Structure 1
Amino acid sequence: MKIQSQVSADEWQTRVDLAACYRMVAHYGWDDLIFTHISARVPGPEHHFLINPYGLLFEEVSASSLVKVDLQGNKVMPSEHDINPAGFTIHSAIHEARADANCVMHLHTNEGVAISSLETGLGPYSQQSLFVLASLSYHDYEGVALNHEEKTRLVTDLGNTNFMILRNHGLLTCAPSIADTFLGMFILQRACEIQLMAQATGEPLIFVSANIVAGMQSQASEVTKAAGGKLAWPGILRKLDRMCPNYKN
């Protein structure tokens, strides 16, 4: 029996959007073989969420292959695939603590890990960075995320922010929708790329002034709601329909 016939229309749409998100991460080269994750809450009161099957490349993830689990990591729908326990630790912690975090993306991009290893982290060097700095937190590295006690420290560090740099590890974004989570990561990743390119010139860098940064912090939520992920997401889906329409299978 096809997965689509076994789930609600809302869940199927979430599956399609999440599979699309995985494919776009692969398209941009942000994936790390099978070792990072994007999760999304299943609509409804059950507190279930979808995460990638451990062992599939991001370019192979489809709507039907996503694994549905509860907050304890138990599969709540039959699947031939398992999930990554380290990925589950990070994502379940945020989904449980943040009702607004319907989608959580964690990546190990080269640029993201590089910025995460800098003592100064991400600086106000670009307009992209300002949107991030308006809602950015840091979490210190504690080893591979298998320790469930780390969950409390992780969500405490995250607070109510939507961007996180995990020291010596990578990047994380969360938002109420898959589209907004993807857009957040696009902006964060681009900010990291720009900073490293600028620093690589060896030339003196210009910081955006503190008063502009402060102004952006107060306006960011209004601006991002006005020009959020929903504007770009239909175009992303059209691109995927041209490139690899099997993400909807």
Structure 2
Amino acid sequence: MTMTALITGATSGLGYEFVKLFAKDGYNLVLVARNGQTLEEIKQTYTNVKVTIISKDLSVPGAAKEVFEEVEKQGISLDVLVNNAGFGLLGKFDELDIHEQLNMIQLNITALTELTYYFLKQMKQRNSGRILNVASTAAFQPGPLMSVYYATKAYVLSFSEALVEELSDSSVTVTTLCPGATKTNFGSVANVEGTKMFSRAMASDIVAKKGYQGMMSGKRVIVTGGLNMAGALGAKFMPRSLAAKIAKYVAGEK
């Protein structure tokens, strides 16, 4: 029986790399993103699998539930949910636009939580399914100059790890992908391409493949890259005040 994966933020970056990986393995796809034209182009590209496109801006309240309702309306049963959509902003909290920051919280936290809630219920009923939530190495420490973004990713990691324990008696898995700087359009949107943190950005296809393989093997947390792993481990043991200072340093210009 052909399986189906839903991917948010599917038109570029990690999202599109996930599209390639799932399509290669013969998954039917439900692709969610804002840009309907690009979604249609992707649909025409992958003729070997069934592709359902849903054009929604998940930073808008209520959009996540509308996605779920559309999937139900079409009678689609999900085997995999990839919560990939998200964005960040560089700058001091009180100097950034508050509405953009609230949109970030809506997308990075609320939409991810809602989609997980709706589709997890179905997966538990079948006692089968995989969820991949994309966080970041930002999840492991406070992040001055990207304070809200770092906080949203800390939520994603904590939330996902808690679900792992709640689902320990089931066959449903939850995996959190925590990449460091990655070569996607995230850098340009967040305005961080010229910062120290992006000086060693990893290729998006490598990051996506590691996340995909880790999810398929049921891993709990995946940190991509040796330096990122060292940084994540170091953040656990150093004083949080020091971790915050380091994060502020790497958010500075090269």
Calculate the TM-score normalised by the size of structure 2. 0.28
Higher relative contact order (CA 8 A, sep 6+): 1
Calculate the TM-score normalised by the size of structure 1. 0.29
